[in-house]
Amino acid sequence: MIIDIKYINLCEVKSELYLFSKTMHRRTFLALGVPAVTAWRRPSILYHDSVPSIKAILFDAFSIFDPSHIALMAGRLFPGKGPELIREWRTRQFEYAWLRSMTHCYVDFQTITSDALDYATQLLKMDISPRQHQQLVDGFFELSVWPEVPLVLGELTKEGYRLGILSNFTPEMLRVNTNGNRITGYFENLISVDSVKRYKPERKSSLIATRGSHSHFPYSHG
């Protein structure tokens, strides 16, 4: 069984992924670490009576990486307007991803991030220089990890879980951020939706890990 962690809200995908009856914030999961996974093996909190044991855990990038430094940068570049800019930028960023998936007009997440920033600054009537624009977009290549991440990844690895990231990030974003934080070795796979050109949470992107020619975690029962 593979579980995909964003807000620990799983969607059922045939017999491979099971929906938990409770939702848990990603930081709560990281704080609980191995005990959280062990607890979820108990059938009493699962919709299905009989489930294979958890073998692999897929994290969303934002479960691992803390983007707060981008908000701090926005505040320094645009005093008094940083929070509003970040709010509009983030909203458009994810709206654009969903719209691109729905209309089958895929561009990668770096392009979406740049386009969303353009829209947000225009909406807020903010003057932004090319250099400031690039600084903010580049912030997604300079992410730190949440404080508890290295310890929890180490614990999960010792317990024998196969770990990966399944993300809307581009492959380069994943590579640079995992390398920069020295956590690459914990992950068996860094999986970008680029390979299927559909953004999460669309079903096709959720199946990358276990299905078809792009499979990274071939699934087996037992």
**Known active-site residue 108:** no
| Given the residues 4, 49, 60, 194, the one annotated as active site | 60
Q: What is the DSSP string of 132-180?
A: HHHHHHHGGGSPEEPTTHHHHHHHHHHTT-EEEEEESS-HHHHHHHHHH
Beta bridge partners of 164: 58, 189
Instruction: Compute the distance between CA of residue 70 and CA of residue 142 in angstroms, rounded to an integer.
Output: 9
Q: Distance (Å, rounded) from C-alpha 200 to C-alpha 60?
A: 10
Measured between alpha carbons, how far is 28 from 11 in angstroms, rounded to an integer?
19
As annotated, the active-site residues are: 60
